[in-house]
Chains A and B, each alone.
Chain A
Amino acid sequence: MPIKQISVFLENKIGRLAEITSLLEKENINIRALAIADTTEFGILRMIVDKPEQAVKVLKDNGFAAKDTEVIVVKVPDRPGGLAKILKMLKESSLNVEYLYAFVKQSGEDALVVFRIDNIKEAINRFNQTGVETLKAEQIYKL
């Protein structure tokens, strides 16, 4: 099932990231995964948090450009070739991966990887058909 990811527009200024994390801390929001995509002039912070609606609200209230988007979190076997197999399957299904990043924490023996894919419904179908396990929101928040 799709999971809510939060994207925040970031100028490359020292301190903006610290500001975001301390805002979330104040609201007792826990970051489960994060990645920063950046160019020389600006960046985008992407996060999976345990209270996404609240996080977007607090960030917007504090002047940040924040937006939630849907992603899929996938259990990837933590061994050589684990991710390769999944990517090959997506390629064969003509599903285009816009970006992906990994969770800090593992789930048992498996790594957790966040996938942003245009055609999210089709991707979930394919994951289900090929026995790749995707996580539900509740599972992620409880990690």
Chain B
Amino acid sequence: MREKDIQYLDKEQLYELQLSRFKRTIERLFTSSPFYSKLWKKSGISPDKIKSLQDIRRFPFTSREDLRRNFPFGLLTLPLEKVVRVHTSTGTTGKPKAIFFSKRDINEAARLIARSMKMTGAKRGDVFQNMMSYGLFTGGLIFHYGAERLGVLVIPAGAGNTERQIELMQDFKTTIVHITPSYALYLADVLEERGVDPKNDLDLRIFYLGAEPYSEETRDKIEKIYGVDAFNSYGLSEMNGPGVAFECKRKDGMHVWEDNFILEIIDPLTGENLPDGEEGELVLSTINREAMPIIRYRTGDITYVYPEKCRCGRTHRRISRIKGRVDDMFIIRGVNVFPSEVERIIMNFPEVARNYQIILERESSLEVMRVKVEIKKRFFDGSIEHLRSLQERIKNKIKSELMVTPKVELIEPGTLPRTTGKSRRVIDNRKL
């Protein structure tokens, strides 16, 4: 089937494609995966009972813990001579997970990246600078393969080394970058210091933002600073890495490539499936992977499915921007708070620079949320009243939207730690 046709399949055809791929995956796993066959036999599931996609709900979830416990080879279903790559993911906590790829798996993962890039307007002749870390992290290499498959010129710059990134952008007239949002903001600071105007002195037109959660406001900021279209994408190593879901030109939700994945939203507490439109934990199953298929993987990411069809005409359903991780969410004075919500609120203040930090503490018996906010140099006019009023306005806004009164601290620009990868926004110093 042609790439274009797959994206615009009508609902029934997409469903049939998913169902046949799902059945095939389950049959294969029963014979080739000791992990799954044992698990499913215990739950009384047999492959010939699958009649519809609904039947996936009878299968038990696969957790991160399952991947760790069976590290490294436990979920591999092919003999080693048919496996060509392994990526590991350390995540932010704990032991690593190993993800294996056959040659075909790499090709299929690259196909989804190429499809996604094309969907956003990338084409031959573009110069693509990949600022994601290469190596064990899937975000670098898998994207690289996809970009080559599409046929753009790829600069495998990797993460960090900002001076060199700038030189590369200038020398090769880079038009597209793949970058973490926090590094995009940091890079903007450095460009400003060097007197390079990202809008007029560079040739950038498309940004792919990924690998860490960020707000719509941060996207707006990045688009304005660089004068580009910034597209949100979603992926995780366990599901090939980048390119599981991608925004189209409408920038209104990310299309999950349902020819490769089955998508479910569940209530993270009860495990019950939720209807489209309701927010919950994203659960994904691979239905087009051979080395290491994973069924009903609990991603830990909080999102919802858009109930209506996208105006772009693609039938693959969309998920919303990831609101946070089930385990990122913190509870303060009984209120559930996602760091991304705090970010969205403070980024709405033009006086606020690009970095912030949330610190949770206990003062005597009371829990306190301190929000450290960097102010923009430009905004500083020497008036203490203006600073106090900014502090007050941020405090009130957070209070009215999140029902938690924070302590807002204004700090000097450039003093919070910056990272080139995933940044640590929340520090929990509360002791029980």
Contact = CB atoms under 8 A, between A and B. Distances in A.
Interface stretch (A37-45, A76-84, A122-130): A37-45
Contacts of B409: 41-42
A42 B387 contact: yes
B381 A11 contact: no
A60 B384 contact: no
Interface string A1-41: 00001010111000010000000000000000000010101
A65 B375 contact: yes
Contact of B377 (A41, A65, A98): A65
Nearest to A44: B384
**Of A10, A11, A41, A69, which is in contact with the most chain B CB atoms at under 10 Å from its CB?**
A41
Contacts of A7: 380-382
Contact of A44 (B377, B382, B411): B382
B383 to A, nearest CB: 8
B410 to A, nearest CB: 5
Contact of B410 (A42, A69, A98): A42
B387 A11 contact: no
Interface string B295-335: 00000000000000000000000000000000000000000
B380 A41 contact: no
B382 A63 contact: no
Q: For B387, B411, B412, which residue has the most chain A Cβ atoms within 10 angstroms?
A: B412
A64 interface: yes
B60 interface: no
Interface string B406-423: 000111111100000000
Contact of A64 (B382, B388, B412): B412
A67 interface: yes
A105 B375 CA distance: 34
Interface string A95-137: 0001000000000000000000000000000000000000000
A138 to B, nearest CB: 23
A75 interface: no
Given A11-B411, A41-B410, A69 B381 contact: yes
A65 B375 CA distance: 9
Q: Interface of chain A, helix or strand or loop or mixed?
A: strand
Contacts of A60: 377
Q: Which of B377, B383, B384, B411 has the most CB of A within 10 A?
A: B384
Interface in B353-380: 375, 377, 380
Interface string B381-398: 111100110010000000
Contacts of A68: 382
Contact of B415 (A5, A11, A37, A46): A11
Contacts of A46: 382
A10 to B, nearest CB: 8
Contact of B381 (A5, A39, A67): A67
B414 A67 contact: no
Given A9-B375, A60-B377, A65 B384 contact: no
A42 B413 CA distance: 13
Contacts of A41: 391, 409-410
A65 B415 contact: no
Contacts of A98: 383
Contacts of A65: 375, 377, 380, 412-413
A67 B411 contact: no
B384 A37 contact: yes
A37 B383 CA distance: 10
A9 B377 CA distance: 9
B412 A39 contact: no
A78 B415 CA distance: 43
B160 to A, nearest CB: 20
Contacts of B377: 60, 65
11 contacts: A5-B382, A9-B375, A9-B387, A37-B384, A42-B387, A42-B410, A60-B377, A65-B375, A65-B380, A67-B380, A69-B381
Q: Which 9 A-B pairs have the closest CB atoms?
A: A7-B382, A65-B380, A65-B377, A67-B382, A69-B382, A41-B409, A11-B411, A9-B380, A63-B414
